[in-house]
């Protein structure tokens, strides 16, 4: 695996990043959680160190699965997640309508207000089972 320095930071990431949108199950017909965990762990074992996720991927499910998969391997990976797309907060600009994994209609809003960013970060930390996010 090749690695790259991320911008002017001291963070080195694998040249290939594992994207986890689909393992959130949302819009993809469900997720086999154990298969997703095994796939993430296989990627780590193959030298992939950067894992991209987001609260919006499966409305938190992707981050939960990533958190389980990196348990005991956290020192080998960089976790990349995001903020700003809220399905659970009717504040900010309406962006699009969708359904939750359970089939409930929701409106997704873009919100980057300080209180929202802090709340999303705290929730992501909990779902990822970590005390820091490497790239936010």
Q: Is 3 a catalytic residue?
A: no
Q: At what angle do helices 33-45 and 61-69 cross, to 10 degrees?
A: 50
Out of 3, 57, 83, 136, the active site residue is 57
Residues 35-44, mean pLDDT to the nearest whole number? 97
pLDDT of 26 reads 67
Phi (first) and psi of residue 22, to 5 degrees: -65, -30
Query: What's the pLDDT tens digit per position in 62-113?
Result: 999 999 999 999 999 999 999 999 999 999 999 999 988 788 999 999 999 9
Query: What's the pLDDT tens digit per position in 41-59?
Result: 999 999 999 999 999 999 9
pLDDT of 4 reads 95
Nearest to 35 by CA among 130, 43, 27: 43
Per-residue CA distances from 120 to 38, 57, 59, 97, 106 (Å): 27, 13, 12, 20, 17
Domains of the chain: which residue ranges? 3-128
pLDDT of 84 reads 97
Residues 104-130, mean pLDDT to the nearest whole number? 97
Q: What is the CATH number of domain 3-128?
A: 3.20.20.100
């Amino acid at each position: 695996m090749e690695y790259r320095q991320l911008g002017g930071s001291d963070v080195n990431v694998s040249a290939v990043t594992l994207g986890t949108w689909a393992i959130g199950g949302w819009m993809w017909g469900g997720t086999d959680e154990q298969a997703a965990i095994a796939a993430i762990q296989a990627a780590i074992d193959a030298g992939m160190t950067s894992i991209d996720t987001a609260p919006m991927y499966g409305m938190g499910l992707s981050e939960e699965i990533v958190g389980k998969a990196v348990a005991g391997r956290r020192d080998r990976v960089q976790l990349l997640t995001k903020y700003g797309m809220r399905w659970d907060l009717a504040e900010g600009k309406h962006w699009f309508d969708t359904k939750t994994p359970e089939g409930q209609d929701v409106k997704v809003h873009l919100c980057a207000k300080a209180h929202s960013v802090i709340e999303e970060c705290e929730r992501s930390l909990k779902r990822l089972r970590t005390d820091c996010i490497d790239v936010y």
